[in-house]
Amino acid sequence: MGKPTGFLEYKRELPPDRKAEERIKDWQPFHTHFDEKQLRKQGARCMNCGIPFCHTGDPVVGGCPLGNLIPEWNDLVYRGNYEEAYKRLSLTSPFPEFTGRVCPALCEGSCTLGMHEPAVTVKNIEVHIIDKMFEHGKVVPRVPKKRTGKTVAVVGSGPSGLSCAHMLNQLGHSVTVFERADRPGGLLMYGIPNMKLGKDIVERRVGILKEEGIEFRTNTEIGKDYSAEKLVGEFDATVFCCGATLPRDLKIEGRDLNGIYFAVDFLSRNTKSLLDSNFEDGNYISAKDKDVVIIGGGDTGTDCVGTAIRHGCRSVTQLEIMPELTVERRDENPWPQWPRIKKVDYGQEESVYLFGRDPRTYLTTASKLVGDAYGNICEVHTSKVQWVNENGRMTPVKIKGTEKVLPCQLLLIAMGFAGPEQHIIKEIGLKTDARTNVLTPQGGYSTNLNGIFSAGDMRRGQSLVVWAIHEGREAAAECDRYLKNKRADNKNE
């Protein structure tokens, strides 16, 4: 440990984000970097614990699912040895430039220092390491020296697909990634706005993967442009990483009105138009001069807030059916669990600056939607709710007398996802669990069909980017074992 008393001498600090009044005028990333002197102080706060919970990666206890060697590279950053810190980081994390920007930092939630002081700024140190290495040309393609002769198809180029393809390629297999969109990246490309994850960052990593030998086939939807049965027959193994892309719908009076969209469509069309033409093609859903209502919180809801504000909306409101969280941990949410506390993200900060209020309204549900004479939405009728125990199950019940009418010309549904789309699953006969996710053994990634695997949200349900990367890596390892056994069987024959 570089500085045993570092956590006593230095307070947690983060580099200031670009000011709200500046960043809402463009689509550029809003995070900034510390200078090296300040960053080394933050690295010095790491206590190098005897048992570092920050990288346990347990779904209940918390910590980094990738098993990042956090105390090691924190110490190396404190000593100013960034190149060695990068080497340690790369042992476990294939894409730290992604997780360092969009991961909620599970590691910080279980940081030992966090029991009595603000946690170490792990996420910020991580992204600084990788950005510095890119800046100095230290991140270079690693082309496998030998090939196994085996071919693998990876369907989906989101975080799990990229992670899986990366590892399989490094193991010497020939990997082809199929992506139905026009650009690789999946969620990273079209699900997360540019101001939170610059698309040049995604394209830079995809470019390295291509140089390492991975083939990307875009504009190719399996089951539509390319038969799933043909795919399975042409490759020695197939890994499905298609995500949980079926949005959860809102069953409510007036749902068929114009001006109602799923959040994922709003965000993806916005990014595509930005990349294709800087919005000149008009192929996006505009919030300009509209009263925007977003149903659902979470990261997706926040991204909708930030996007609507950049369009120039007249107002923005988020309806959250859950109660407002406390700003400190509750007794039933002890360390090292992920802290379920109230946070103010970039979208809410921008709403406060522009409209003078946090856009979130808690314990509130939409009761009906009303349209104008032309079939366009113009009002959202809401009610407050209370959660009551009905036969052992907590259920939201509307409170009489709390009805309210919100003006609305654009309604965005950000209620999460119901599971993976089913057409591929049904075409080749994959078994599913009770939640319609692809069924695999507990702790495993193989499906009911020989040589076919699944990873990421398609297998585990809607989750985090860091868990998707973990799943892709683990599925690749299981797929590799299958291919090795297949080679051995062929030799014995």
Give the chain's largest Cα–Cα span: 77
pLDDT of residue 449: 96
Residue 234 has pLDDT above 90, yes or no: yes
Tokens of 95: 């894409």
pLDDT of residue 2: 66
Q: How confident is the model at residue 493 (pLDDT cuts 50, 70, 90)?
A: low
Question: What DSSP letter does each residue of 251-293 carry, written as one string?
Answer: --BTTTSBTEEEHHHHHHHHHHHHHHHTTTT--S---TT-EEE
Query: How confident is the model at residue 1, as a pLDDT?
Result: 62
- Report the C-alpha gap between 88 and 161 in whole angstroms: 23
**Is the pLDDT reported for residue 490 higher than 80?**
no
Residue 88 has pLDDT above 60, yes or no: yes
pLDDT of residue 486: 78
Q: What is the mean pLDDT of residues 123-151?
A: 97
User: What's the CATH class of domain 6-135?
Assistant: mainly alpha
Residue 110 has pLDDT above 60, yes or no: yes
Helices (H), 154-261: 159-170, 199-211, 228-234
The first and second tokens of residue 370, run together, are: 């009303």
pLDDT of residue 202: 98
Single-letter code of the amino acid located at 172: G
- pLDDT more than 90, % of the chain: 92
pLDDT of 62 reads 86
pLDDT tens for residues 286-317?
A: 999 999 999 998 899 999 999 999 999 999 99
- Measure the CA dihedral 85/87/91/93, to 10°: 60
Could you tell me if 300 and 464 are in contact, meaning their C-beta atoms sit under 8 angstroms apart? Answer: no
The span from the CA of 196 to the CA of 185, in Å, is 15
Supply the pLDDT for residue 488.
65
Beta strands 393-398 and 364-371: pairing type? unpaired
> Which one-letter DSSP state was computed for residue 191?
I
The band of 169, judged by pLDDT with boundaries at 50, 70 and 90, is very high
Give 340-353 pLDDT, tens digit per residue: 999 999 999 999 99
Buried b (16+ CB within 10 A) or exposed e, 202-211: beebbebbee
As given in the structure block, the two tokens for residue 345 are 């993200």
Provide the pLDDT for residue 60.
79
List CB contacts of 241: < 8 A, sequence separation 6 or more. 154, 155, 156, 157, 158, 160, 161, 164, 454, 455, 456, 458, 468, 472, 475
Give the model's pLDDT for residue 105: 95
Percentage, residues of the chain above pLDDT 70: 98
- The CATH 1.10.1060.10 portion of the chain extends over 6-135
Tell how strand 151-155 and strand 410-413 pair up: unpaired
Predicted confidence at residue 61, as pLDDT, reads 81
Q: How does pLDDT run across 350-369, given as a tens digit for each residue?
A: 999 999 999 999 999 999 99
Res 57: pLDDT: 87
List beta partners, residue 206.
none
What mean pLDDT comes out for the span 225-242? 94
Please give the pLDDT value at position 374.
Answer: 98
- Please state, as a whole number, how many other Cβ atoms lie within 10 Å of the Cβ of residue 147: 13
The pLDDT of residue 98 = 98
| Confidence band of 149 (pLDDT split at 50, 70, 90) | very high
pLDDT digits (tens, 9 = 90+) for 398-425: 999 999 999 999 999 999 999 999 999 9
Predicted confidence at residue 51, as pLDDT, reads 87
| Residues 451/238, Cβ–Cβ less than 8 Å | yes
Which of helix, strand or coil describes residue 316?
A: strand
Residues 6+ apart with CB under 8 A from 298: 414, 416
Give start-end residues of each CATH 3.50.50.60 domain in the chain.
151-246+418-492, 249-415
Q: What is the pLDDT of residues 268-278, one digit of tens each?
A: 999 999 999 99
Residue 322 DSSP code: S
CA dist., res. 460 & res. 456, Å (int)? 6
Q: Determine the CATH number of domain 249-415.
A: 3.50.50.60
Q: How many CA atoms lie within 13 A of 246 on its CB side?
A: 11
Give the CA distances from residue 375 to residues 254, 364, 409, 410, in Å, rounded to whole numbers and listed in that order.
Answer: 9, 25, 11, 13
Q: Which helix (H) or strand (E) holds 471?
A: helix 465-492
Residue 103 has pLDDT above 80, yes or no: yes
Evaluate whether 278 touches 449 at the Cβ level (below 8 Å).
Answer: no
CATH (one of 3.20.20.140, 1.10.530.10, 3.50.50.60, 1.10.490.10) for 151-246+418-492? 3.50.50.60
Q: Residue 101 above 90 pLDDT? A: yes
* pLDDT greater than 60 at residue 196: yes
> What's the mean per-residue pLDDT of the chain?
95
DSSP three-state, residue 66: coil
pLDDT of residue 49: 86
Average the pLDDT over 78-86 and give the result: 96
